[in-house]
């Protein structure tokens, strides 16, 4: 009997194993990498046996990204035989298959209008009328002396041939007598109802092979952007360094839970985009009218180109929560509430825990000591232009819940200073920090804890290792800054002459005075941000402690209750370029009187002007000769016209002799003038060459 029972159990077990080969099981997510561009990288791993199907749940918003990035691998020699998902046509396309001309949103009037011509039965109190629906109209009727209302009115042609109208009131009922049309109405309402349930998409992955095998699936998906937030705990001991705690806010809005996943957070945004691949694509086809007389013959054409559980984040084994310490930090454990709960704990919510070093004394440690004992829960690594935080412990975040995950706990170098700039009305308390954590800090919010109390908060941009940055977090009530500005223009300070061009350099000087008053009882370091202006440079002897892209930063130390001054002098050089070939006597006289040029330069410039005048004289004479040539040419043309007009006249012979003599005289004059023009051109060229040589030889580079 025992052997028979054992045999039955073995057979039943084998049947269950064979049945498991064809069942569809969930493929859990094992690794998640979140980016700053609104996408996440997901890895699923699981085991299959024989021929088996595994499923993954997505939302409709995820599916587009999944389809363009899905990678499926059978790691032990099996074959991926297929991947499928429930495709849902747009509701507008599904409605086209119905006989009712109704859209996704409709009204009573539109619905009854779609039933025109249908057999209906109308009940209005004791009246029962059967017939075909004719129309539904909106009419305006009087409800009082000066008031009107709009009311729908139904018209039908009764079986007796009468035209009957009924106002659409709560006492009126309409029954569709057409059985087939009643089924269409049921289909319409079912489609409208199913549209609410189309957000969940289930992908089925079919794998075929022998024995136990491992399956790997990866893809990207649209997810909320993860966010960074920091805490800076200022020490009470003079020789201690501030502690930086970094937290990441992570939201799980995908179709399934993240249970014991490896979570990585990347401070960067690789290029990504959305393409509607999950929706069936419909294209618009042209409507071609049939010809009236031609018969059609078959043709061929080219192919187309075309109530939930509370969220929980578990990191390591659970541990009992100790009593809270001052400053809101638990001794030995930092607790946080995840999910829809507020920052208080509910009885159903779990904590995520980071175990600290055990206290040396039986008494509870201080908040500062507890923070010092904390260790970073993430390691960091560079990824080219990106930076990745890898959490050391696996994380569980249920779907539609969020988590506050610790990623950094490190000492940093920081100085507490007062920051003033022209863009801020009041001085600000700030930390001048150096990122000595060895990790890249992602941009986000931060708040400062000082003496176990909140001291202020602000924003931080991404910060590379060893990079220095000012972080302001509160108004400084003990420091006042007064700023005065005095600009003066100075005459020409430098002259340079080369290649016939004189460059005169003058300058503007800006004297700025910052008066700083402190009413504090301790020494203050005040950082003044002085703007960097294009074309201006600091005068000799003025050096800032640090220079940023848009400002110089000067540090001023102020004794308690004292006043200090910061003087910043800037110079703005102004250049004027003058071609020496265009210099005039008046300019030379003005420069000499203003002591811009020395006597030696004045004489050299006057020689240049004289040479220019000589060239101008030759050009004037040449212009005069050219005018004479033009006049002679005009006279010769006139004489030739007169000679043509004398043909056949009595005076022809005598006048021709006279005109010929005049032409000969003019030719002699013309030849003489042309010779003079040639001589003048040679002299002008020689003078121009002398001027060019003078301009090239004149060189100067001296301060005034």
> For 12-92, where are the E strands, in sequence order?
24-26, 29-34, 39-49, 52-59, 71-74, 79-85
Question: What order of strands is seen across the sheet that includes strand 563-579?
Answer: 537-538, 563-579, 501-518, 479-498, 700-703
Q: Distance between CA 402 and CA 252 in Å, rounded?
A: 6
Least confident of 113-117, 155-159, 435-439: 113-117
3-class DSSP assignment, residue 548: coil
Work out the percent of the chain whose per-residue pLDDT is above 70: 75
Same domain membership, residue 52 and residue 122: no
Q: Assign 68 a pLDDT band (cuts: 50, 70, 90).
A: confident
The answer to whether 148 touches 141, Cβ cutoff 8 Å, is: yes
State pLDDT tens for residues 459-470: 988 888 888 889
State pLDDT tens for residues 191-234: 666 655 555 677 888 888 888 888 898 988 888 888 999 999 99
* pLDDT value for 341: 33
Region 89-95 average pLDDT: 63
Counting Cα atoms < 13 Å in the Cβ hemisphere of 62 gives 25
Q: Distance between CA 551 and CA 542 in Å, rounded?
A: 14
* pLDDT value for 438: 85
Residue 529 within any structural domain of the chain: yes
pLDDT at position 26 over 90 = no
DSSP label at residue 320: P
CA 202 to chain centre: 33
* pLDDT value for 481: 92
Same domain membership, residue 53 and residue 112: no
The answer to whether 241 touches 433, Cβ cutoff 8 Å, is: no
Region 396-402 average pLDDT: 88
- Return phi, psi of residue 501, to 5°: -125, 130
Same domain membership, residue 404 and residue 486: no
The pair of three-digit structure tokens given for residue 686, joined into one six-digit string: 């020689």
Same domain membership, residue 248 and residue 364: yes
Q: Who wins on pLDDT, 94 or 178?
A: 178
Strand-pair category, 200-208 with 52-59: antiparallel
DSSP element (H, E) containing 109 = helix 108-114
DSSP notation for 213-267: EEEEEEEEEE-PPPEEEEEEEE-SSTTPPPEEEEEEEEEE-SSS-EEEEEEEEES
Q: Which residue matches tokens 């109530």?
A: 307
Q: Domain range holding 105?
A: 91-197
Give the residue from 561, 570, 470 showing the smallest Cα distance to 516.
561
* pLDDT value for 171: 83
Q: Distance between CA 355 and CA 334 in Å, rounded?
A: 8
pLDDT at position 7 over 70 = no
Q: Assign 390 a pLDDT band (cuts: 50, 70, 90).
A: confident
Residue 145 within any structural domain of the chain: yes
Q: Distance between CA 438 and CA 544 in Å, rounded?
A: 27
> Which residues face 245 on adjacent strands?
231, 409
Sort 107 into a burial class: Cβ within 10 Å, 0-12 / 13-18 / 19+.
exposed
Q: Who wins on pLDDT, 526 or 352?
A: 526
Q: Distance between CA 453 and CA 589 in Å, rounded?
A: 74
Highest mean pLDDT among 71-85, 493-507, 553-567: 553-567
* pLDDT value for 519: 92
Same domain membership, residue 182 and residue 117: yes
The answer to whether 227 touches 248, Cβ cutoff 8 Å, is: yes
* pLDDT value for 87: 61
Burial 427-447 (b: 16+ CB within 10 A, else e): bbbbbbbebbbebbbbebebe
Q: Distance between CA 69 and CA 221 in Å, rounded?
A: 9
Helix (H), strand (E), coil (C) string for 15-33? HHHHHHCCCEEECCEEEEE
Residue 323 within any structural domain of the chain: yes
Q: Assign 123 a pLDDT band (cuts: 50, 70, 90).
A: confident
pLDDT at position 357 over 80 = no
* pLDDT value for 173: 87
Same domain membership, residue 521 and residue 616: no
pLDDT at position 354 over 80 = no
State pLDDT tens for residues 625-669: 888 888 888 887 887 777 777 676 666 667 777 777 877 888 888
Work out the percent of the chain whose per-residue pLDDT is above 90: 11
* pLDDT value for 528: 92
Q: Who wins on pLDDT, 1 or 544?
A: 544
State pLDDT tens for residues 480-533: 999 998 888 877 878 888 888 888 888 888 999 999 999 999 899 999 999 999
Q: Distance between CA 484 and CA 476 in Å, rounded?
A: 21
* pLDDT value for 220: 86
The pair of three-digit structure tokens given for residue 497, joined into one six-digit string: 């002459």
* pLDDT value for 670: 85
State pLDDT tens for residues 307-343: 434 433 444 333 333 333 333 333 333 333 333 333 3
DSSP label at residue 526: E
Q: Distance between CA 499 and CA 694 in Å, rounded?
A: 10
Chosen domain end from 564, 580, 596: 580
Q: Who wins on pLDDT, 399 or 357?
A: 399
> Which residues face 421 on adjacent strands?
529
Residue 59 within any structural domain of the chain: yes
Q: Distance between CA 123 and CA 115 in Å, rounded?
A: 17
Residue 361 within any structural domain of the chain: yes
Q: Who wins on pLDDT, 298 or 14?
A: 298
Question: What order of strands is seen across the sheet that includes strand 52-59?
Answer: 24-26, 52-59, 200-208, 79-85
State pLDDT tens for residues 244-286: 999 999 998 887 888 999 998 887 666 766 666 666 665 666 7
Q: Assign 11 a pLDDT band (cuts: 50, 70, 90).
A: very low
> Which residues face 258 on adjacent strands?
397
* pLDDT value for 3: 42
Q: Assign 355 a pLDDT band (cuts: 50, 70, 90).
A: very low
State pLDDT tens for residues 402-461: 988 888 888 889 999 999 988 777 899 999 999 888 888 888 889 999 888 998 998 988
Same domain membership, residue 101 and residue 84: no
The radius of gyration of the chain from alpha carbons, rounded to an integer in Å, stands at 48
Q: Who wins on pLDDT, 101 or 364?
A: 101
Q: Assign 16 a pLDDT band (cuts: 50, 70, 90).
A: very low
DSSP label at residue 695: H
Same domain membership, residue 650 and residue 525: no
> Which residues face 457 on adjacent strands?
447
The answer to whether 686 touches 477, Cβ cutoff 8 Å, is: no
Q: Residues near 352 by Cβ (< 8 Å), separated by ≥ 6? A: 312, 313, 314, 315, 335, 336, 338, 395, 403, 405
The pair of three-digit structure tokens given for residue 562, joined into one six-digit string: 């004292």
3-class DSSP assignment, residue 351: coil
Residue 632 within any structural domain of the chain: yes
Same domain membership, residue 45 and residue 74: yes
Residue 146 within any structural domain of the chain: yes
pTM assigned to the model: 0.56
Chosen domain end from 197, 214, 240: 197
Give the residue from 546, 527, 532 showing the smallest Cα distance to 481.
527
Same domain membership, residue 390 and residue 525: no
Residue 437 within any structural domain of the chain: no
Q: Who wins on pLDDT, 182 or 545?
A: 545
Q: Assign 554 a pLDDT band (cuts: 50, 70, 90).
A: very high
The pair of three-digit structure tokens given for residue 245, joined into one six-digit string: 């705690």
pLDDT at position 555 over 90 = yes
Q: What is the CATH number of the domain that holds 161?
A: 2.30.30.520
Same domain membership, residue 159 and residue 251: no
Mean pLDDT of the chain: 77
* pLDDT value for 274: 65
* pLDDT value for 526: 93
The answer to whether 53 touches 205, Cβ cutoff 8 Å, is: yes
The answer to whether 96 touches 89, Cβ cutoff 8 Å, is: no
Same domain membership, residue 544 and residue 615: no
Q: How many domains does the chain have?
A: 5
3-class DSSP assignment, residue 613: helix
Counting Cα atoms < 13 Å in the Cβ hemisphere of 489 gives 3
> Which residues face 557 on adjacent strands?
525
The answer to whether 75 touches 216, Cβ cutoff 8 Å, is: yes
pLDDT at position 563 over 90 = yes
Strand-pair category, 258-266 with 29-34: parallel
Chosen domain end from 411, 431, 455: 411
């Amino acid at each position: 009997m025992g052997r028979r029972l054992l045999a039955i159990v073995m057979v039943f077990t084998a049947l269950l194993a064979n049945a498991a080969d064809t069942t569809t099981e969930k493929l859990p997510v094992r690794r998640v990498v979140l980016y700053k561009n609104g996408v996440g990288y997901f890895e699923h791993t699981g085991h299959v046996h024989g021929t088996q199907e595994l499923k993954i749940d997505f939302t409709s918003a995820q599916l587009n990204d999944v389809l363009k990035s899905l990678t499926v691998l059978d790691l032990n020699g099996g074959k991926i035989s297929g991947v499928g998902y429930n495709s849902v046509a747009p509701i507008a396309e599904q409605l086209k298959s119905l006989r009712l001309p109704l859209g996704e949103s409709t009204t009573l009037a539109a619905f009854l209008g779609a039933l025109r011509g249908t057999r209906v039965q109308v009940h209005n109190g004791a009246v029962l009328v059967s017939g075909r629906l004719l129309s539904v109209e909106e009419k305006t009727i009087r409800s009082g002396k000066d008031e009107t209302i709009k009311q729908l009115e139904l018209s039908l042609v009764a079986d007796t041939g009468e035209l009957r109208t009924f106002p659409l009131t709560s006492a009126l009922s309409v029954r569709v007598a057409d059985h087939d049309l009643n089924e269409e109405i049921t289909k319409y309402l079912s489609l409208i109802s199913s549209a609410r349930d189309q957000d969940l998409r289930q992908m089925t992955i079919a794998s075929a092979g022998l024995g136990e095998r491992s399956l790997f699936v990866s893809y990207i998906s649209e997810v909320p952007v993860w966010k960074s937030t920091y805490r800076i705990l200022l020490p009470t001991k003079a020789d201690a360094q501030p502690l930086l705690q970094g937290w990441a806010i992570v939201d799980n809005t995908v179709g399934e839970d993240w249970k014991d996943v490896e979570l990585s957070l990347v401070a960067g945004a690789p290029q990504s985009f959305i393409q509607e691949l999950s929706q069936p694509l419909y294209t618009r086809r042209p409507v071609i009218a049939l010809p009236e007389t031609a018969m059609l013959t078959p043709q061929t054409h080219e192919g187309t180109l075309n109530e939930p559980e509370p969220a929980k984040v578990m990191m390591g084994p659970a541990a009992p929560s100790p009593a809270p310490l001052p400053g809101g930090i638990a001794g030995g454990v930092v607790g946080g509430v995840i999910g829809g709960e507020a920052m208080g704990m509910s009885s159903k919510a779990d904590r995520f825990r980071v175990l600290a070093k055990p206290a040396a004394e039986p008494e509870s440690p201080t908040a500062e000591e507890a923070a010092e004992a904390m260790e970073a829960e993430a390691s960091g690594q560079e990824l080219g232009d990106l930076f990745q935080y890898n959490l050391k412990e696996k994380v569980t975040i249920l779907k539609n819940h969020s988590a506050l995950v610790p990623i950094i706990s490190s000492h940093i170098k920081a100085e507490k200073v007062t920051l003033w700039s022209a863009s801020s009305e009041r001085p600000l308390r700030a930390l001048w920090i150096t990122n000595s954590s060895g990790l890249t800090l992602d941009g986000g919010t931060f708040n400062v804890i000082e003496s176990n109390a909140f001291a202020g908060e602000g924003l931080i941009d991404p910060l590379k290792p060893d990079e220095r940055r000012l972080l302001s977090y509160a108004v400084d009530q003990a420091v006042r800054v007064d700023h005065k500005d005095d600009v003066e223009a100075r005459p020409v300070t430098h002259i340079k002459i080369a290649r016939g061009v004189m460059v005169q350099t003058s300058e503007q000087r800006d004297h700025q005075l910052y008066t700083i008053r402190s009413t504090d009882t301790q020494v203050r370091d005040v950082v003044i941000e002085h703007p960097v202006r294009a074309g201006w440079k600091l005068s000799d002897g003025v050096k800032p402690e640090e220079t940023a892209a848009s400002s110089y930063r000067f540090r001023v130390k102020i004794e308690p209750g004292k006043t200090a001054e910061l003087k910043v002098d800037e110079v703005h050089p102004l250049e004027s370029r003058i071609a020496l070939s265009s210099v005039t006597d008046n300019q030379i006289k003005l420069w000499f009187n203003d002591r811009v040029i020395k006597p030696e330069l004045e004489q050299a410039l006057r020689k240049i002007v004289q040479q220019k005048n000589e060239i101008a004289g030759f050009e004037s004479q040449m212009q005069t000769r050219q005018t004479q040539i033009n006049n002679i040419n005009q006279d010769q043309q006139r004489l030739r016209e007169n000679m043509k007009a004398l043909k056949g006249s009595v005076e022809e012979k005598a006048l021709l002799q006279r005109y010929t003599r005049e032409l000969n005289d003019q030719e002699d004059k013309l030849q003489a003038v042309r010779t003079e023009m040639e001589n003048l051109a040679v002299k002008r060229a020689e003078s121009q060459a002398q001027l060019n040589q003078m301009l090239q030889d004149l060189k100067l580079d001296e301060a005034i």
